[in-house]
Structure 1
Amino acid sequence: MIPRIQEKLSILADAAKYDVSCASSGGTRKNVGKGLGDSHTSGICHSYTEDGRCVSLLKILLTNHCIFDCAFCVSRRSNDIKRAAFTVQEVVDLTISFYRRNYIEGLFLSSGIFKNADYTMERLLAIVKKLRTEERFNGYIHLKTIPGASDELISQAGFYADRMSINLELPTEAGLKTLAPEKSHDLVKKPLKLVNTSMQAYRDEGKRIKHVPTFVPAGQSTQMVVGATAETDKDIMHIADSFYKNYGLRRVYYSGYIPISNDHRLPMLGSLPPLLRENRLYQTDWLMRFYGFHVTELLNDDHPFLDTEIDPKLSWALRNLHLFPVDINTAAYELILRVPGIGVTSARKIVQSRRFGKLRSDQLRKIGVAMNRAMHFIWCADRIPSLGSPSAMEIRQHILSAGSRKNTPSSQQLTLF
């Protein structure tokens, strides 16, 4: 590799690590003929860093030059860092070269904003268009939308990208005005609405016409920084819920704020991002999307923050003990889903298996139920609740103590690292 290209890659790959919204599932682009790559049959392999961030794709910025001066961003205008920018052809060549060497199975491409939004978006569009039309690359492409870019450029990009995303940056407009006064949520909502409307239009057209162009087949997503401003978990999840409903997002990503400057407007968190809070927000998001929970059930004025000691599903169950225990052999699927220790797959297996006989504790364990948590909330064939039901505090302490015993050094799984 040419030394200058290697230097650029080092700078711009490092700058891209702060963008966590790089999910690579959901693409169905097939390779026909003699094209290169296929996001349908081989899928996109995932790799995760120690703190849980996905690094599965060739993840780079087109440039880390930026006209904005957002206090929480490492690429902000006033930050004294090394700057670099790829040409359109350099990104194309890197993607194809890395793919041929089996280093990657797709591309995650974002950028700082140099000159203006349209100038930057034109170059991002040129890259994905070259990959698709000239190189016949059929691998996965996740493209960042540039806030403020024209509708025409965004619409064209939708025909070449598998997924598009645009960063909300901070959960609230007030927070944005404090740390990034040059930006607004309206600049994010407009392209999200445009892409969502176009996706729906092409889906509807596909029901009437056989051959319809593919438009952002893996949907769109957004990302917000958590911990840089004073929003509660309730505020954050209400914002996420509204974006899911209004713009049909596939994912909302929560990025724990990483201290990168001594700006007095930013909180002092030491050297580590709030990863536990980030994890709890993802768990809450999962419950809302796959477990039938409404955001107000998990977070409200009485409980504006998530419990850091226990997961949000267990926290909800302990606040609603009047709904438990449930009979695992007769309860509806929707209620079984709400039992701590039972996931979507396990709940489905329970409903399917109980048609052949009543389920016992040992069978539930084989199905995949985490009985150390679920045992407090269910009945089954060999487990009938006692007359004196334990309190929420007693159940909580029992589960926490069982978890601490499980994580003692003598019981930890050995690793190579």
Structure 2
Amino acid sequence: MNMDRITRKLGILADAAKYDVSCASSGSKRQNKDKGLGNASNGICHSYTEDGRCVSLLKILLTNHCIFDCAYCVSRKSNDIERAAFTVQEVVDLTINFYRRNYIEGLFLSSGIFKNADFTMERLVRVAKKLRTEHNFNGYIHLKSIPGASDELMQEAGLYADRLSVNLEMPTVAGLKLLAPDKDQKDMIKPMAYLKHAIIQNKDEKKLFKKAPMFAPAGQSTQMIIGATPENDSEVLRSANYFYRNFNLKRVYYSGYVPVLADNRLPALNTSVPMVRENRLYQADWLMRFYGFRVDEIVDNTSPHLDLEIDPKLSWAIRNMQAFPIDVNKADLQLILRVPGIGLLSAQKIVSARKFGKLNWEQLSKIGVSVNRAKYFITCNSSQFERRDLTGNNIRQFILASSQSKYLKNNQSQLSLF
């Protein structure tokens, strides 16, 4: 292996892959056997960059050559950049060498489109197949599926990869047509639909036959670019909800648009999507998936954008003050889950603990409840924070002021160290 040449390629193709955020690696249970390499378990160790993006996997493109000319993509064919491409064997060797040095826990492999979808997808599958069959590699593999790839290739990919994902690119068909007129959302939906049915079928087979081969055990995910087109948060979340319900996705990733190319269809180069908007979308996504919130409870026609100052659960609670306060010693789990400052695990602990006696503020704090937030919305076996007649706007201001005070206090503490 010519290391200078490989290092040059790695610099180009790792940099080109940094815009793809859908690289979480949890959810697979591929165990090591026969003294192989690696072990993908629930929760592979992650490292994060300063902006919070996961870099625990070897995250690269197979190539940044592409036949498409998507306005938002740094690898688009009309962009004057240095091009590179790995061979299948080079990616395999890099993965093994990086793993042996304990740099990575697995591989996240995407690609520009060489000639067509099947030509490119076949090479991605060959990388995964070589790692599994020739090197007995049991670490995590996430393949970015190519829109329009055949069912046969998707089937083979699922046998070797832990997770597969097809990027939707834009939240709406109109947005995709504007910035990527050569692409068709139908080509993205086709492999997603195939994966959904294949994963369900595999689960049924595993119930009948213990040794049936695994098929994409960590499921499938997708990614949407936010802010490159004018969709509001309501449209983004409704699109995500549609794909969760109809394609059994594990995750939808929201990638704030990073201006890298000048184009009259795109926001100005000095206009970046605030990181807080991306964070709020993830928080809203969490509420939909784990807390029982409907999209129209989080955002609606009158408030189509998420509040950037406060989180979506607090925003909902302030708009629905008639539902509070609730008595945590009597309320059901679903209602407790809607209280700001009470998370999923804390709510479950409350329901379990109150069987042995009524809970007070001190006990709630020990359970993990953020009392500074929850005190405005609940009552318990104590009058220490007896509820006052506050409006939603009063509560909002108190919480924002408390957060600002805590931020300043932390900064002062850090400065005192020097």
Q: TM-score surpassing 0.5?
A: yes
Cα gap change, 1:391 to 1:33, in 2 (>3 Å): same
Deviation of 1:103 after TM superposition, in Å, equals: 0.6
Is the Cα contact below 8 Å between 2:360 and 2:380 reproduced in 1? Answer: yes
**Is 2:14–2:59's contact at 8 Å kept on the other side of the alignment?**
yes
Aligned to 1:28: 29
Task: State the secondary structure of the residue aligned to 1:159.
Answer: helix
Cα distance, 1:387–1:404 mapped onto 2, change above 3 Å = closer
- Compute the displacement of 1:273 (Å): 3.5
Higher mean displacement: 246-255 or 288-297? 288-297
Instruction: Spell out the pairing of 1:150-299 with structure 2 (5 A cutoff).
Output: 150-268=150-268, 270=270, 272-299=272-299
Q: Which one-letter code corresponds to 2:225 in the other structure?
A: V
1:129-148 matches, within 5 Å, as: 129-148=129-148
Q: How does 1:63-102 map to 2 (within 5 A)?
A: 63-102=63-102
What residue number does 1:323 align with?
Answer: 323
Q: Name the CA shift for 1:412/1:314 in 2 (closer, same or farther; >3 Å).
A: farther
Secondary structure at 1:153's aligned position in 2?
Answer: helix
CA deviation after TM superposition for structure 1 residue 412, in Å: 5.7
Distance in structure 1 (CA, Å) of the matches to 2:12 and 2:61: 9
In 1: Cα distance, 2:19 partner to 2:78 partner: 18
Query: Is the 1:226–1:255 Cα contact (8 Å) retained in structure 2?
Result: yes
C-alpha RMSD of matched pairs (Å): 1.7
Q: Does the 8 Å contact 2:62/2:86 carry over to 1? A: yes
Q: Could you tell me how far 1:387 is from its partner in structure 2?
A: 7.8
Is the Cα–Cα contact under 8 Å of residues 227 and 274 in structure 1 kept in the other structure? no
Mapped partners of 1:385, 1:33: distance in 2: 59
Superposed CA deviations along residues 149-182 of structure 1, whole A, max 9, x for unmatched, are 1111111111000000010000001011110000
CA contact (8 A) 2:29 2:217 kept: yes
Q: Distance in 2 between matches of 1:172 and 1:208?
A: 40
Task: Find the aligned partners of 1:344 and 1:294 in 2 and give their Cα distance.
Answer: 17
- Following the alignment from structure 1 to structure 2, what is the Cα–Cα distance between the partners of residues 376 and 409? 23
1:311 aligned onto 2:341: no
1:393 matches 2:396:
no
* Residue 361 (1) aligns with residue 361 (2): yes
Q: CA deviation at 1:409?
A: 5.0
- Tell which deviates more after alignment, 383-392 or 107-116: 383-392
Deviations 1:206-260 (A, max 9, x none): 2222321110000000000000001010000000000001000000000000001
Tell me which residue corresponds to 1:372: 372
CA displacement 1:61-81 (0-9 Å, x = unmatched): 000111100000111111111
Question: Do the aligned residues in 2 keep the contact of 1:159 with 1:215 (CA within 8 Å)?
Answer: yes
Q: Is the 8 A contact 2:26 2:44 kept in 1?
A: yes
Larger CA deviation: 68-77 vs 403-412? 403-412
**Cα pair distance change 1:269/1:2, threshold 3 Å:** closer
- Amino acid aligned to 1:72: Y
Provide the secondary structure at the position in 1 that maps to 2:159.
Answer: coil
| Structure 2: runs of 5+ lacking an equivalent | none
Q: Does the C-alpha gap of structure 1 residues 384 and 406 become closer, same or farther in structure 2, counting only changes over 3 Å?
A: closer
Query: Deviation per CA, 1:256-279, whole angstroms, max 9, x where unpaired?
Result: 000011101111262643211110
- Percent identity over the alignment is 63
Q: Secondary structure at the match of 1:369?
A: coil
Change (3 A) 1:334 1:269: farther
State the distance in 1 between where 2:124 and 2:386 align.
64
Match of 2:109 in 1: 109
The answer for the alignment partner of 1:59 in structure 2 is 59
2:3 matched residue in structure 1: 2
Cα distance between partner residues in 2 of 1:15 and 1:383: 57
Q: How many residues align?
A: 416
Deviation at 1:392, TM superposition (A): 0.7
